[in-house]
Amino acid sequence: MNNIFGHYSIPAIRVCKKFNDSTKKLPTYFLLQVYVTITGIREFKFAFDLPNIPFFIKFATFQKDIMVYRNGRMCSISTKAIKLCDVLYICKLKDPSFVFHFANIKTVFYTVRSMNIIIVY
């Protein structure tokens, strides 16, 4: 990293400090795609792409055995599930000023539903 920024007279320590300052409010497990634009001599800026909603849903999904009624008897099947509290956390990630906007919740719930995942308490 020092070789790349050093070529443009930008100290790598300054880049790391600015990056850490701009991402300190994000959870440590976030995977970010970062774009660094060198705007001039000793000047740069960051742009981040946060993961999309299906990525977080897949990350929070787990296998769960449930009982279903088939062919006149109860049997156990394994299915994908997500906890309701995780769905609400994902809603908050989508909109940090989250105050239970119905459209926001609806989008996440329909995404979960389209991925054939059940929501559990």
Q: Are residues 9 and 36 in the same domain?
A: yes
Q: Are residues 37 and 69 in the same domain?
A: no
Could you tell me the residue range of the domain that residue 12 belongs to?
Answer: 2-49
Are the CB atoms for 80 and 61 separated by under 8 Å? yes
DSSP 8-state symbol, 80? E
Reported as a single tens digit per residue, the pLDDT across 48-101 is: 877 788 888 988 999 999 998 988 899 999 999 999 988 888 887 766 665 666
pLDDT at 73: 93
The whole-model pTM stands at 0.57
Statement to judge: residues 32 and 9 lie in one domain: yes
Give the residue with greater pLDDT, 41 vs 67: 67
Q: Are residues 38 and 57 in the same domain?
A: no
- Band (pLDDT 50/70/90 cuts) for residue 5 is confident
Q: Residue 66 is encoded by which pair of tokens?
A: 């449930």
